[in-house]
Amino acid sequence: MVKFEQAGLDASFAALSDATRRGVLEQLGRSDASITDLAEKFQMTLAGMMKHVGVLEQAGLVTTEKVGRVRNCKLGARTLEEEAAWLDRHRQLWASRFDALDEVVEQLKRKEKNNGRKK
Amino acid sequence: MVKFEQAGLDASFAALSDATRRGVLEQLGRSDASITDLAEKFQMTLAGMMKHVGVLEQAGLVTTEKVGRVRNCKLGARTLEEEAAWLDRHRQLWASRFDALDEVVEQLKRKEKNNGRKK
């Protein structure tokens, strides 16, 4: 059984729970960008964007580096592999639960059919 | 390009950002349970567990049904397929960014080696 590091999952799922922050990750997936670039692109104040980038940085999804007056952002070391594994496992459990439910429904149908014949 | 439904992703990633809520989903993946069962299992007050289940229900990850005095919980219709697709796409972007970086490093190494030979 996979052992998940819960605090890391808490932080990364929370970081992903905002459309702007997901957009920033998509943007940084295409090319690095400064906080100023990102604020412009997402039509947001510098302070607002710094807050979002801070959340992503805390979760390890982004790293930033100050060069002169500019803070450059790029994708961090966290690859979301654990998060993807968690989702996959959940989806497998989900599917097996609903397969089991299907089986019960099929059994009930067969029973009904047999009862019908006996009448 | 996949078009994601942002509000749905916001809600489900937020729901997943808590270890207890992820634990509840894992539990319901094994078998349905009442709020009381879940509160006991996670050593939490009924009110606390109801709040967590409420967040999961809002995100479509859990459905509940009141039977007499008992509120039964089971997995909801949301399969986390979109969430998994988002993560996969991000991981692909991530990998391609780092492959590109590797290529730059390789080029620099080759250049250095050639310069070394010229000396």
How far is residue B74's CA from residue A97's CA, in Å, rounded to a whole number?
10
Which amino acid, A32? D
> What is the SS3 assignment for chain A?
CCCCCHHHHHHHHHHHCCHHHHHHHHHHHHCCEEHHHHHHHCCCCHHHHHHHHHHHHHCCCEEEEEECCEEEEEECCCCCHHHHHHHHHHHHHHHHHHHHHHHHHHHHHHHHHHHHHHC
Name chain A contacts of B6, Cβ cutoff 8 Å.
19, 22
Measured distance CA(B64)–CA(B51) in Å, rounded: 13
Q: Which two tokens stand for residue A27?
A: 């943007």
Residues 6+ positions from A95 with CB-CB distance below 8 Å: B79
Chain B residues with CB inside 8 Å of A94's CB?
Answer: 29, 75, 79-80
User: A114 pairs with which residues across the strands?
Assistant: none
Confidence tier at B86 by pLDDT (50, 70, 90) = very high
Nearest residue of B to residue A6, measured between CA atoms: B19
Alpha-carbon span A7 to B32, nearest angstrom: 26
**What is the complex's ipTM, to 2 decimals?**
0.83
- Output the pLDDT for position B59: 96
- 8 A C-beta contact, residue B90 and residue A56: no
Cβ-defined contact of A94 to B26 (cutoff 8 Å): no
**pLDDT tens-digit series, residues B17-29:** 999 999 999 999 9
- Is pLDDT larger for residue A110 or for residue A84? A84
pLDDT 10s digits, A70-101: 999 999 988 899 999 999 999 998 888 777 77
Q: Which helix (H) or strand (E) holds B71?
A: strand B70-75
Residue A119: pLDDT above 60? no
Interface of B with A in 50-69 (CB under 8 A): none
B4 CB neighbour count, 10 Å cutoff: 16
Give the residue, A21 or A30, on which the prediction is more confident.
A21
Beta-carbon pairs below 8 A across chains A and B: 87
Contact yes or no for B91/A81 (Cβ under 8 A): yes
% residues pLDDT > 90 (chain B): 68
Using N-to-C axis directions, what is the helix angle for A81-118 and B81-118, rounded to 10°? 150
